[in-house]
Amino acid sequence: MSAKKPVQWLVVAVVQEPDIVQTMDAAEASGAPVVYLSSTGGFLGNGNATLLIGLPAGLEERIISEFHQICRHRVEYMTMPIEGAPIPLPTPIPVQVGGATIFALPVERFEEM
Ligand code: 2BA
The pLDDT tens digits for 3-62 are 678 999 999 999 999 999 999 999 999 888 899 999 999 999 999 999 999 999 999 999
Return the best residue to mutate from 19, 44, 78 for the ligand 1 pocket (most ligand atoms within 8 A of CB): 44
Closest residue CA from atom 39 of ligand 1: 101
User: What pLDDT was estimated at residue 92?
Assistant: 87
What residues form DSSP beta bridges with 100? 15
Going from the Cα of 30 to the center of ligand 1, the distance in angstroms, rounded, reads 27
| Burial status of residue 64 (CB atoms within 10 A of its CB: 0-12, 13-18, 19 or more) | middle
pTM across the whole model = 0.90
